[in-house]
Amino acid sequence: MRPTRTRFKASGFLFLLAAVTYLDRICISTLAPDIQRDLGLSKIEMSVVFSVFAVAYAGFEMLSASWGEKIGARRVLTRIVFWWSGFTMATAAAWSYSSMLAIRFLFGAGEAGAWPNAALAFSRWIPLRERGRVQGFFFAAAHTSGGLTPLLVAWLLTMLPWRGVFVVCGLTGTIWAMCWYRWFRDEPRDHPQVNEAEREWIEAGRTLGGQAHRGAALWGALASSPNVWFLCLAYLSNSYGAYFVMTWLPTYLAESRGFEKQTLSLFAGLPMLLSVLGDLTGGAVTDWASRRFGLRAGRAAVSILGYSIAAAAMVAGVYANTPIMAASLIAIAVAASMFTLSPSWAACMDIGGENTAVLSAAMNTTGQVGSIFSPLITGWIVQRFANWQMPLLIMAGLYAISAVLWTQVDPLKRLTARPPAA
């Protein structure tokens, strides 16, 4: 009997989830000038609006991931997407700085845990040898959406006010959540479209086993593992750079590099569009290298390469002579950092096992620290010193540090609970 291919349908649902997350996150950066004008916000105040999402996202990430491990990704992702879609639409009702802060905080709290619970679903539906490629397509979907969102929003603005754009974006997530809950099952064996051959293929190759750590044992295992610390800290630069793209890049291109409105949307979306190539190649390369050279080389070497290229390209972009060259090099740097996403999230599955969701949440929460500070630091530096080069050089330095940290990550070391004190 040939295996069915239902696992790829499940992956398709998660690819759409990735796309919707970036649609709802990035539309606000494209709409920022209109929001600032209508609500009378300064650059610093708009920076705080950007960052308050990341603060809430980081604060609730571990809780949502832990909840997913207890009751399953099906129900938790349904709740997450309904919640954040509602607050995406509620953004249209903001009437002041304080109301915008409250709405975006609740939006971030609702979206927290989306990607870790997606990783949890992948860990149950996708065998080890396919994880890199599947994760690559997941991130490619997110970044394709991120790259096209500025163009989509620009088109919607020809027909709707900025408030109407938020309503349209929020409706897409609501539709996804209804379809996901109806179709998905937490375990492949429980899905009527999975035959026995596919079930055996998935379960034999997914490397789960044993009991998930809970409570103090889990937190002790995370806190006491240098492997986990290196993995998490290395991820900070990725989110720091990505959040610059999602918040201040359009303003940087207009103010510092002189891009006009006709080309601004294209080059504002270019880092995300190029990131699709980084996502797909990173996923394919980490799978190939893991089979050819072993799991540690397959995860760590790919990540070291990606972050090293990102650091070099970002420095080159700062000192580029022409606007197009600068924008292109920045896009290459961000795309190179995205080359590391598949090995990073696959390493969470390798190390975390039954605790994949919580470990990936810990890594993503560390990344959100970068997301919190990226717009704040950028906004403060630009307003205080009128200098756009310094924020980009900070990103380059963080990429270089991540390359060094990855030399210490070993995906062969599984997360284990500390023995109780004698």
Using the predicted structure, report yes or no on whether residue 210 has a pLDDT greater than 60.
no
141 and 342 in contact (C-beta within 8 Å)?
no
| Mean pLDDT along residues 329-336 | 96
| pLDDT at 417 (0 to 100) | 59
pLDDT in tens, 56-96: 988 898 888 888 888 999 999 999 999 989 999 999 999 99
| Mean pLDDT along residues 198-208 | 77
Residue the block writes with tokens 């996202």:
57
Query: Between these two residues, 89 and 139, which has the higher pLDDT value?
Result: 89
pLDDT in tens, 178-195: 999 999 999 999 999 999
8 token code pair:
């790829």
| pLDDT at 213 (0 to 100) | 59
335 and 277 in contact (C-beta within 8 Å)?
yes
Rounded to whole angstroms, the Cα distance separating 345 from 122 reads 10
pLDDT in tens, 8-39: 999 999 999 999 988 877 788 778 888 999 99
SS (H, E, C) 15-49: HHHHHHHHHHHHHHHHHHHHHHHHHCCCHHHHHHH
For residue 143, give Cα distances in angstroms to 27, 161, 193.
Answer: 13, 25, 30
| Mean pLDDT along residues 292-318 | 95
Q: What is the model's pTM?
A: 0.78
Mind listing the domains of the chain with CATH numbers? Answer: 7-205+226-408 (1.20.1250.20)
Residues 6+ apart with CB under 8 A from 420: none
Rounded to whole angstroms, the Cα distance separating 38 from 249 reads 21
Using the predicted structure, report yes or no on whether residue 422 has a pLDDT greater than 50.
no
| Mean pLDDT along residues 277-296 | 90
Q: Work out the mean pLDDT of the chain and round it to a whole number.
A: 88
Rounded to whole angstroms, the Cα distance separating 53 from 3 reads 42
| Mean pLDDT along residues 308-325 | 95
Using the predicted structure, report yes or no on whether residue 256 has a pLDDT greater than 90.
no
Res. 214 pLDDT band, cuts 50 70 90: low
Burial 295-315 (b: 16+ CB within 10 A, else e): bbebbbbbbbbbbbbbbbbbb
Rounded to whole angstroms, the Cα distance separating 115 from 108 reads 13
Rounded to whole angstroms, the Cα distance separating 365 from 357 reads 12
Helices vs strands, H then E, count in the chain: 17, 0
